[in-house]
Amino acid sequence: MPTVLETRLENRWMVQPNHANHLGTTHGGNVLKWMDELGALSAMRFAGEQCVTARMDQVNFKRPIPVGDTAVVEAYVYDAGESSVRVRLVAYREDPETGERERTTESHSVYVAVDENLSPTAVPDLTVDSERGGELREAALSDAKADVEL
C-alpha cells in the first residue's frame, strides 16, 4: 500500500513573461494548471491508475509570483475513498538565486481513479508509516476541515 511520502511530488517552473499578467506576476490560471497537473500525478502515483480531476476546493491566492521567480508546487495524497484520492496542493514563490520561499497559493483537490473505459475504479488504502507522513496528513486534514468551516 502506498504511503503519504511516496505520493509527495514537487515541481518547479521558471515564471516567464508569457506566464504573466499586465502586473508582471503569474496569471492565477497558470498556477492552477500547474497545481492540477502535479496533483493528478500524485494521485496517479498513489492509485496506480489514470486519475481525473473531480473537484478543486477553495483556492487561496495569498501573494503573487513575479516574473523571474520560480513557481514551486508541492502535492501529496492525504486521504482516499473507494475510487477518490484527496491531494493537498501548495504553491510557493522561490528566489532562484537564494532559494528563499514564500507560500503563495494553497488548495485541496479530489481526483478519481479510472479504468480503460474511464469508469471509476478502486484505489488502495493510504498508509502512514512515518512521523513526517503523519504530520503532512494531519496538516492537510485540519486545513481541509478549516476550508469547509469558512
- Which CATH number covers residue 67? 3.10.129.10
Return all residues near 124 (Cβ < 8 A) that are at least 6 apart. Answer: 1, 2, 46, 47, 48, 80
Amino acid of residue 79: D
pLDDT at 34: 98
Tens of pLDDT along 17-62?
999 999 999 999 999 999 999 999 999 999 999 999 999 998 999 9
Model confidence at 148: pLDDT above 80 = no
Q: Which of the residue ranges 19-23, 81-85, 129-133, 144-148 would you say has the lowest mean pLDDT?
A: 144-148
Predicted TM-score (pTM) of the model is 0.92
Query: Could you list the residue range(s) of the whole structural domain that residue 86 is in?
Result: 5-149
pLDDT at 147: 56
Amino acid of residue 121: T
pLDDT band at 143; cut points 50, 70, 90: confident
Q: CA-to-CA distance for 142 and 86, rounded, in angstroms?
A: 13
Mean pLDDT over residues 82-100, rounded? Answer: 97
Name the region of 83 (left: φ>0; alpha: ψ -120 to 50; beta: rest).
Answer: alpha
Question: How many domains, in total, are found in the chain?
Answer: 1
pLDDT at 145: 64
Tens of pLDDT along 122-131?
999 999 999 9
Q: ∠49-52-58 over CA atoms, to 5°? A: 130
pLDDT at 1: 81
pLDDT at 146: 60
